Structure 1
Amino acid sequence: MIEYTLYYATNRGHIGQDRWRPEGYGCGFSRDGHDNLRFGKVIVPVDEQELQRHLYKKMSTNPTRIGDGENLNRYLCKQAESARIYAIEDLTTISDKNIPEHKNASAEMFREVKQVMEQSHDVLIFIHGFNVSWASAVGMALATEMMLNRVPAKTAHPILMPQQKVRVVLFSWPSDGKVIPWRSYGNDRQEAQLSGEAVGRAMLKLRDFLIRLRLDAKKKEERLCYQSLHLLCHSMGNYVLQNTLGKMTGYITKGNLPRIFENVFMCAPDVDEDVLESGKPLSRLPEICHKVFVYCNRRDKALTISDITKANPDRLGHNGPAHPQNLHHKVNVIDCSDAVGRFKKQDFVEHNYFLWATAIEDIAQTLHDVSDDAEIRQRKRKADSLNIWQLL
């Protein structure tokens, strides 16, 4: 067995007597409040042979597509149930005095993550969707990291440097992790909305840390790593992002929001189809990043159910944006419908397709600065002068 480390932040309530060495995290908020955060790391045991089997499994429908991220996810979810968790002790819980910002648990984890980035690692923050337990969230985050870091299939960029890696940092909100028709979806949506406050606080803490880092670098007290931060939200995690942006906007009333990320990936987003348009909740998303990528799939049964049974408007992750011509120039749309239908016809739900070889490789190429219209991309432009692409 090999042990893998995953850094995390969560506003879930801990399980067990010791909040700094919890047995796990539950499906409710922290008892200190829905915007209270815990930071730490989780150590997951992984069988290397089992890992390699999933990473390099060939799809029977197309042998050139290599990697079974969904079954890797299932395996890692099981392994996460026996993982060791180490929360960083928060001094504000044991002192009635003001704690300096640089001594907060968040700053301590940011410093550890910075040390990882100094080893030529970009960092991708991952926010999961609904019906995801703590162990499932850990498994999905690790599966994402491992699929992004595997030696690419022959379709990938030929000049990628093997030492350039991506480390995933998990934010886990208290999704129910179970399917009880009607109630679970409604509970998760309410908790996702409230969790936006916690993520918003975390983003602003990260902004303050980066500002302080640059100031210290000018005084030669710190050195910059020159790596990039990215954000990937899956399913209802995009609704968390929507409420996060609202929280940040409430704090920053003048000027643009802070540019924190290089790329933001909205995978199977369970939000309204017009949410990125001017005046809508995510219209200011391009302010916090260089580019936005929306991955959608007309075959996504989970979002179809969200449309029909939950009385939601059409979802962005189903048919894509309602009015593509109204999108900011930073926004790119990748339609995965044909690729999903061709390579995974046996999958009924088709909601976690961002972990499939075709989609995850497209994300990896973006992380490695492969141009949007490069020939090696497994995509083609769907319409002239629009940033809308069809995954092949």
Structure 2
Amino acid sequence: MDYIFCARGVSSGAFAPRPGPTKFLEVPPGATTLSPALAIPRRDWFDRVVALAETRRSFQGTPYGDVLIYIHGFNTSQATVLERHRLIRNGLESLGYQGAVISFDWPSADSALNYLDDRTDAKLTALRLVGDAIGPLSRYIQQGCEISTHVLAHSMGAYVLREALDDADDRREIAATGWTLNQVMICSGDVSADSMGTTAKSSSLYRRSVRLTNYQNPYDSVLSISNVKRVGVSPRVGRIGLPASAPRKAVNVDVGLYYQQFHGDFVGAFPDHNFYFQSAQFLRDVYLTLLGEIDRESIPTRISRDGRLYLRPER
């Protein structure tokens, strides 16, 4: 089963690309897209996710584990959301990951022309990420379950994440709780690079995470300045990387060398923006990051050149 929480509205028994009440979906292996008919009670959904996450025991016998939340980008159909969710889950499990993978499906339209509408809907539904997932998972921790919550955000999903944490810290009832994300990973992040430094806009993102890893691809045409009608005039963090003012807990990994060597391996639209889900090397880097056992400078899927970290160009 796959577990996805969906913030889309419903029309004629199907999900629509507009905000609506959050539904918690349990998706069977044979499903090829998402449907409101797959919704189950919220408490049942969380109990099953936590059961998947709690696969290990500490020396004291306390259950512990991991939950990775995937946040998709703009112009993403629900069939693609489900496909990428499974690529991430299957890829990590093949490497030995024993936790749960869940996805946040916010109301993105299936069209590149809807960029500004997607961005508006992303902001409107961003707080659901905290209120409907991160917050409840933190309450399980308070009940004695040692669960580490991580996030992998792609493209506009980085904007969803940043807005969610910024809005959450502005709401007293949410800000007062002690929740923290462990590993936050952003790939092809569709936010201004300058805003990812020590600015007020990203302060909650850094304060609420233990470590942030930004994967940038200088060959990402979707995030290029030539696409200003979609991404604005500011260079994006997923293309040029984190600014020098980013805090010490943030690390930048340039995937350009890797993509340049293996770009022919990837299929589908805009592989320079979307190849991550098909890349065994990228998922291996994510897995090692989730484990948190190796210093970021020494993770074997990375090489260091001239003071910069690169994804090692190996399959």
Instruction: Report the secondary structure of 1:275's partner residue.
Output: helix
Q: Which moved more, 1:116-125 or 1:128-137?
A: 116-125
Which of 341, 358, 373 is the matching residue for 2:281? 358
Per-residue CA shift, 1:244-286, capped at 9, x if unaligned? 0221111149988744321001111000002222234122212
Which of 303, 309, 313 is the matching residue for 1:380? 303
Q: Does 1:176 align with 2:90?
A: no
Partner of 2:39: 87
Partner of 1:368: 291
Instruction: Report the secondary structure of 2:190's partner residue.
Output: coil
Which of 67, 79, 98 is the matching residue for 1:123? 67
Which structure has the higher relative contact order (CA within 8 Å, separation 6+)?
1
Partner of 1:146: 90
1:254–1:349 distance in 2 versus 1, CA, 3 Å:
closer
Distance 2:229 2:87 in 1: 30
Per-residue CA shift, 1:267-317, capped at 9, x if unaligned? 110000022222341222122221110000000111116753333310000
Distance 2:116 2:122 in 1: 10
Q: Does 1:316 align with 2:237?
A: yes
Partner of 1:135: 79
Partner of 1:189: 119
Superposition pairs of residues 25-40 of structure 1, within 5 angstroms: 25-30=15-20, 36-40=21-25
Asked if 2 retains the 8 angstrom alpha-carbon contact of 1:200 and 1:247, the reply is: no
Superposition pairs of residues 1-392 of structure 1, within 5 angstroms: 5-17=1-13, 24-30=14-20, 36-45=21-30, 80-81=32-33, 85-89=37-41, 105=42, 107-120=43-56, 121-151=65-95, 162=96, 164-180=97-113, 184-203=114-133, 205-206=135-136, 209-210=139-140, 213-214=141-142, 216-217=143-144, 224=145, 226-252=146-172, 258-304=178-224, 307-310=227-230, 311-321=232-242, 323-324=243-244, 326-345=245-264, 349-355=271-277, 356-372=279-295, 377-384=300-307, 388-392=308-312
Instruction: Report the secondary structure of 1:130's partner residue.
Output: coil
Instruction: Report the secondary structure of 2:234's partner residue.
Output: coil
Per-residue CA shift, 1:168-225, capped at 9, x if unaligned? 1011001001233xxx111111111112132232256326623xx52x44xxxxxx2x
Distance 2:72 2:305 in 1: 29
Structure 1 residue runs of 5 or longer lacking an equivalent are 18-23, 31-35, 46-78, 90-104, 152-161, 218-223
What number of residue pairs does the alignment pair up? 299
Asked if 1 retains the 8 angstrom alpha-carbon contact of 2:135 and 2:179, the reply is: no
Distance 2:223 2:229 in 1: 10
Asked if 2 retains the 8 angstrom alpha-carbon contact of 1:41 and 1:85, the reply is: no
1:122 Cα offset (Å): 2.1
Distance 2:125 2:44 in 1: 22
Asked if 2 retains the 8 angstrom alpha-carbon contact of 1:257 and 1:288, the reply is: no
Asked if 2 retains the 8 angstrom alpha-carbon contact of 1:296 and 1:317, the reply is: yes
Instruction: Report the secondary structure of 1:11's partner residue.
Output: strand
Distance 1:178 1:345 in 2: 25
Asked if 1 retains the 8 angstrom alpha-carbon contact of 2:127 and 2:165, the reply is: no
Letter in 2 for 1:291: R
Letter in 2 for 1:343: F
Instruction: Report the secondary structure of 1:302's partner residue.
Output: coil
1:243–1:306 distance in 2 versus 1, CA, 3 Å:
farther
1:390 Cα offset (Å): 1.1
Asked if 2 retains the 8 angstrom alpha-carbon contact of 1:26 and 1:134, the reply is: no
CA RMSD, Structure 1 to Structure 2 (Å): 2.7
TM-score normalised per structure 1: 0.69
TM-score normalised per structure 2: 0.85
Instruction: Report the secondary structure of 2:303's partner residue.
Output: strand
Instruction: Report the secondary structure of 2:112's partner residue.
Output: coil
Distance 2:296 2:159 in 1: 29
Q: Which moved more, 1:288-297 or 1:226-235?
A: 226-235
Partner of 2:62: none
Distance 1:189 1:83 in 2: 23
Distance 1:150 1:204 in 2: 26
Asked if 2 retains the 8 angstrom alpha-carbon contact of 1:272 and 1:313, the reply is: yes
Structure 2 residue runs of 5 or longer lacking an equivalent are 57-64
Distance 1:368 1:13 in 2: 36
